A and B are shown apart, each in its own frame.
Chain A
Amino acid sequence: MKSLAELQALRDKMKNNMGIRNDDEAKARIVVGMATCGIAAGARPVLAAFTDEVSKRGLNDVAVGQTGCIGICQYEPVAEVFMPGQEKVTYVKMTEEKARRVVAEHIVNGNVVTEYTIGANAK
């Protein structure tokens, strides 16, 4: 069973690893809408998928966080991606699978996944 001793070991590993993420220096930032509308639509697993994918790929300079309701509740779960020098990209009706693809194609390779953006989904 997980214990505080295990957390201690984890801390020592992190401290030895120079790549501790500092949110202030993050290269890219992903935020998931976590208001009532987002949560009800499935934001929690989307947030977890973003975190897991970023962690698995060792992307220490990518920050994953939350935002509130941005007023497009019908498109939740919504995720926004901020990359330095680029305009914000808003992804809508997100799922765990879509989140993993956004990390691979947009964050890693720099190609916006146009089919998931609000522009491609707005009617």
Chain B
Amino acid sequence: MQELSLNILDIAENSVKAKASLVEITVEEDEAADLMRIIIADNGCGMTPEVVARVSDPFYTTRTTRKVGLGVPFVKMACEMTGGTFSIDSTVGEGTTLRASLGLHNIDRSPLGDIASTIASLVQCNPDIDFVYTHRTGEGEMCADTREFRAVLEGVPLSNPEVVSFIREYIAEHLTEIKGGLI
């Protein structure tokens, strides 16, 4: 993957597959600890400990169309090559939380990239699922919550192209405000 926002899109698709109704994505730029933390938490169907133990294996997949599953291994690799850590906590029937940390100023860390487009794509393709995107930097915190947008929209679908553009720009502008995703 060229940028971390594509990894995030890919992992969040797993939450969609797990029939989550709420997916919370958090990115934190922690200068003091020199870490970028990425947390993707859903309330989907969860996984058994046996499955959790195997998802980082590129030759494990639930798909039948092909024999490899690279989404989770890609994230794990992206973390480990920057001296970071990676973990998944999951409970069947409750949901799954993926925690990734990467060396913030490590030369091998991919840029976060266009996270606004990632969230916009997720909302557009899954208008019935709620997504919460939170981003923290030393300058402050921004949050985009589709539950809030949904309440304002009064029945106009979140997948409406103009609404999708609004959400993308909303995130991009609020990110700029806290100087998020620049490094």
What separation, in Å, do the CA atoms of A15 and B156 have in the docked complex? 7
- Which of the 9-residue segments A39-47, A100-108, A113-121 touches chain B? A39-47
Cβ of A28 to closest chain B Cβ, rounded Å: 14
Within 8 A of B (CB), among A62-89: 64-66, 68-71, 73
Interface size class of B (residues with CB under 8 A): 35 or more
Contact among B9, B114, B154, B163 for A39, CB-based, below 8 A? B9
Question: Which residues of B are found within 8 Å of A64, using beta-carbon distances?
Answer: 124, 161
B139 to chain A, nearest CB (A): 14
Contact residues in B for A8 (Cβ distance below 8 Å): 152
In the complex the two chains form, what is the Cα distance from A48 to B120 in whole Å? 9
Task: For the complex, give the distance between the alpha carbons of A116 and B92 in Å.
Answer: 43
The answer to whether B152 and A40 have CB atoms under 8 Å apart is: no
B50 within 8 A of A: no
Per DSSP, chain B at the interface is: helix
Residues on B lying within 8 angstroms of A by beta carbon are 1, 6, 9-10, 13, 17, 63, 65-66, 69-71, 74, 114, 117-118, 120-121, 124-125, 148-149, 152-154, 156-157, 159-166, 169-170, 173-174, 177
Complex contacts, B124 vs chain A, CB 8 Å: 47, 51, 64-65
C-alpha gap A79/B118 in the complex (Å): 18
Count of residues in A whose CB is under 8 Å from the partner chain: 35
Known interface pairs A10-B166, A20-B156, A44-B6; A36-B177 also in contact (CB < 8 Å):
no
A36-B70, A64-B124 are contacts. A2–B174 as well, Cβ < 8 Å? yes
Q: Is A35 an interface residue (CB 8 A)?
A: yes
